[in-house]
Amino acid sequence: MTTWFETVAEAERRAKRLLPRSVYLAIVAGSESGRTLRDNVSAFDEIDLAPHVADLPATRDLSTLVLGQKLALPVVISPVGVQAIHPEGEVAVARAAAARGTAIGLSSYASRSIEDVVQVNPMTFFQIYWSGSRAQIQERIERAAKAGAAALIVTLDWTFSHARDWGSPRIPERYDAATVARMTPQVLTRPRWAARWARTGRPPMLTVPNMRTRGAPAPRFFEAYAEWMQTPPPTWDDLRWLRRTWPGPFLLKGVGRVDDSLRAAEAGFTAISVSNHGGNNLDGTPAAIRVLPAIAAAVGRDVEVLLDGGIRRGTDVVKSLALGASAAMIGRAYLWGLAVAGQTGVENVLDILRAGIDSTLLGLGKASVHDLEPHDVLVPDSFARTVNTFDNTTTR
């Protein structure tokens, strides 16, 4: 395979040069001051590795089981909405994940349908939001089941926090004359991106086909978003109903507290994702990796625990596994690859992570990702953030 870039950081630099400014900023998307966004990434630098020098394994096994699916490496594509940064969008990502033997989380707000994505990657985990009535939610779940989704994800780490100190990009609601006039100066400075879309004969897709209800056309993104904003947040009873509605593997995305992880286990979820929505939610929450160890210790024997937030290298994945995760989910990392080179770019990102995981296992003297333990990493005493479930206070 042609090497497009050697690191995720290089993929981001190339994507920044390729994408219109507002499109690039929409992917960066850290809320408010961006403190949580930065901590998600930088927290990994506080964790050291403890390598061996002899009796190292000649071969390493990176395969694992996540939500009932046998994966070639412990990395899962996290659901991200409206991937119109490339004409093939989520289908390109799904093909790349399939080619590298892993699963894709597909957003309800994706620009491509669940049917299109499952067709190219049967290891598709369909993600829903608590949006609309129970009847509408059930209809979307039944559609996902009929399409062949392998698992369901419900995302709850979102509080509609939009303010950004660096300025929020304007995302168009529709492509009309006013939008074209406003976007043209940006697009003209990015001719390669513009030419890519020009060859398709259509503008970037702003509709979300997976939010379509029976007998109605696919809504535009902001129409679906408004429905979500106007829906009262779910209760634990609602989540138990959701669990009964989907009997297969089911992941609750967005857990950051031990008590919530215990409630999720009691509600019947088979997996949780320790996540803060990539720092694009409630700013000031700790990096996901900081709260992972306590949550994994509390529920890791009862449910699968995934880490979602800040993954940029194979070493980040290994550190997550050593601290209790069964796999890591990636978001921005693969989007930079998608922006640069479509399917090939996403494959390149997955290859970077695979190589990093493999070389780190070698250095640590581990023959399998399942052999990783807490003593393989060195964590400073001040690193962890833990919510005490008894008196509801936070300790450091």
Catalytic residues: 277
Helix (H, G, I), strand (E, B) or coil at 19: coil
Helices (H) and strands (E) in the chain, counts: 14, 14
Cβ proximity of 265 and 14 under 8 Å: no
Cβ proximity of 131 and 224 under 8 Å: yes
Strand partners, 274: 255, 307
Contact residues for 121 (Cβ-Cβ < 8 A; gap 6+): 94, 95, 97, 98, 103, 104
Strand partners, 386: 395
In the chain, at which residue ranges do the beta strands (DSSP E only) sit?
A: 48-49, 64-66, 69-71, 75-77, 104-106, 124-128, 151-155, 250-255, 271-275, 304-308, 327-330, 377-378, 386-387, 394-395
Distance between CA 68 and CA 270 in Å, rounded?
10
Distance between CA 229 and CA 132 in Å, rounded?
9
The upper half-sphere exposure of residue 336, i.e. CA atoms within 13 Å in the direction of its Cβ, equals 25
Distance between CA 352 and CA 179 in Å, rounded?
37
